[in-house]
């Protein structure tokens, strides 16, 4: 089987509500749909969702790098995923989002060609996963109301964006905990917004409020800071922006800098590298989470299939599908609150309007 053509198509979505995180307020997302066709008539779809604050790329670079890499991949077997990544990496460092978009399209084709859902192609046998849902930074009362509305919809794990002054941040969690009760799991993402000292101080208060995990409290480069915090608190410490590659994962593991690593397809360049990161962490006894970067149904589904197939992906944070308004790609999974069941359809399994 050979790749015959790769097309890149810009798509825009609005968030249901603006999503405020420590470093930005995000109102809409522009992503790139990757459409890959083969000489055997199989079409694969991928999604590249650049997020310049974290990945350093944007839609313009995604399209131009994608067109350049795309030319080099014509004629290659999309199932030869190691060879595809070697070509992409030989041409461009970084650029995780477009590499992920191409990687996902290749896996979609490979699983369709094998006639199985992607999670089975990746070695899994259980189509069920359980995701959290994220609420953005706002006034404490508004965040509590937001959390309550998700709990009313059946979600049992709430991820809360923080990363401002720690007194207000602690008040936000107090308000949410009072509103949702003690049975709901609450985890925090500070998106690099705190200092080491502030994190150690607030982690005591957050532990009392039943928070079990703090993600990326300090700047992405500060691996020593993460380790210092991890050794000073009972709350689990997770790396997100600090882990883009197998090399980051390896360093975090050897330094024993964190308790959990949050893998994102758009940071690491797709499923192929995500599997490697999960394995590196598994070898070091570090469980992984899989998160998302504002991608739509398609990108979220790729992560869901990977999570369903990968033992060491223990936590799932694939929720942009619930907070973006988008209609051109749909299906692929059913959900009851955060409990997801993947469809038993070949490949990623979503329906692309007009295809």
- Positions touching Mg ion (CB under 5 A) are 189, 215, 240
Choosing from 215, 222, 315, 319, the catalytic residue is 215
CB of 160 to Mg ion, least distance (A): 11
Choosing from 189, 198, 222, 317, the catalytic residue is 189
Report the residue number, 66 or 225, with the smaller CB distance to Mg ion.
225
Report the residue number, 112 or 161, with the smaller CB distance to Mg ion.
161
CB of 243 to Mg ion, least distance (A): 10
Choosing from 112, 120, 159, 161, the catalytic residue is 161
- Mind giving me the DSSP string for 92-111? -SS-HHHHHHHHHHHHHHHH
Query: H helices of the chain, where?
Result: 52-55, 59-73, 81-91, 96-114, 118-121, 140-152, 166-180, 196-208, 223-230, 246-255, 265-268, 271-283, 297-309, 320-323
2 is catalytic: no
Q: Which of 298, 308, 296 is nearest to 350 (CA)?
A: 298
What the block records as the tokens of 104 is: 């996902």
Q: Coil, strand or helix: which one is 132?
A: coil
**Residue least distant from Mg ion (Cβ):** 240
CB of 317 to Mg ion, least distance (A): 8
For the chain, the C-alpha Rg in angstroms (whole number) is 19
Choosing from 159, 230, 264, 267, the catalytic residue is 264
Report the residue number, 3 or 190, with the smaller CB distance to Mg ion.
190
Report the residue number, 176 or 350, with the smaller CB distance to Mg ion.
176
Q: Which of 180, 218, 212 is nearest to 289 (CA)?
A: 212
CB of 2 to Mg ion, least distance (A): 38
What the block records as the tokens of 108 is: 């979609």
Q: Provide the b/e sequence for 232-265 (b: ≥16 CB within 10 Å).
A: bbebbbbbbbbbbbbebbbebbeeebbbbbbbbb
215 is catalytic: yes
Report the residue number, 112 or 187, with the smaller CB distance to Mg ion.
187
Distance CA 22, CA 237 (A): 17
169 is catalytic: no
328 is catalytic: no
CB of 4 to Mg ion, least distance (A): 37
Is 146:175 a contact under the CB 8 Å cutoff? no
264 is catalytic: yes
Choosing from 47, 103, 146, 240, the catalytic residue is 240
Mind telling me the catalytic residues?
161, 189, 215, 240, 264
């Amino acid at each position: 089987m050979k790749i015959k053509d790769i097309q890149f198509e810009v798509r825009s979505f609005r968030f249901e509500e603006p999503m405020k995180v420590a470093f930005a307020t995000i109102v809409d997302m522009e992503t790139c749909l990757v459409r890959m066709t083969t000489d055997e008539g199989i079409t694969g779809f991928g999604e590249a969702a650049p997020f310049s604050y974290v990945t350093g790329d944007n839609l313009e670079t995604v399209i131009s790098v994608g067109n350049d890499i795309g030319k080099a991949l014509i004629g290659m077997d999309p199932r030869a995923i190691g060879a595809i990544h070697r070509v992409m990496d030989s041409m461009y460092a970084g650029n995780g989002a477009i590499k992920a978009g191409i990687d996902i399209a290749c896996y979609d084709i490979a699983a369709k060609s094998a006639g199985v859902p992607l999670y089975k192609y990746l070695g899994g046998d259980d189509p069920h996963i359980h995701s959290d849902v994220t609420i953005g930074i706002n006034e404490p009362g508004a965040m509590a109301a937001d959390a309550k509305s998700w709990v009313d919809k059946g979600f049992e794990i709430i991820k809360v964006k923080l990363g401002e002054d720690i007194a207000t941040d602690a008040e936000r969690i107090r308000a949410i905990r009072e509103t949702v009760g003690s049975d709901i799991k609450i985890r925090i993402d500070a998106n690099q917004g705190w200092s080491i000292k502030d994190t150690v101080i607030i982690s005591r208060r957050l532990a009392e409020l039943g928070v079990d995990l703090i993600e990326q409290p300090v700047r992405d480069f500060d691996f020593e800071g993460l380790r210092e915090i991890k050794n000073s608190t009972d709350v689990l410490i997770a790396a997100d922006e600090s882990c883009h590659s197998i090399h980051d994962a390896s360093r975090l593991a050897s330094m024993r800098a964190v308790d959990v690593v949050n893998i994102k397809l758009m940071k690491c360049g797709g499923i192929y590298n995500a599997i490697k990161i999960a394995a590196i962490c598994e070898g070091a006894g570090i469980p992984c989470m899989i998160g998302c970067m504002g991608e739509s149904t398609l990108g979220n589904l790729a992560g869901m299939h990977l999570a369903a197939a990968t033992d060491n992906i223990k936590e799932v944070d694939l929720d942009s599908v619930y907070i973006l308004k988008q209609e051109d790609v749909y299906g692929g999974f059913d959900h009851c609150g955060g409990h997801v069941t993947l469809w038993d359809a070949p490949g990623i399994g979503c329906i692309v309007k007009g295809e």
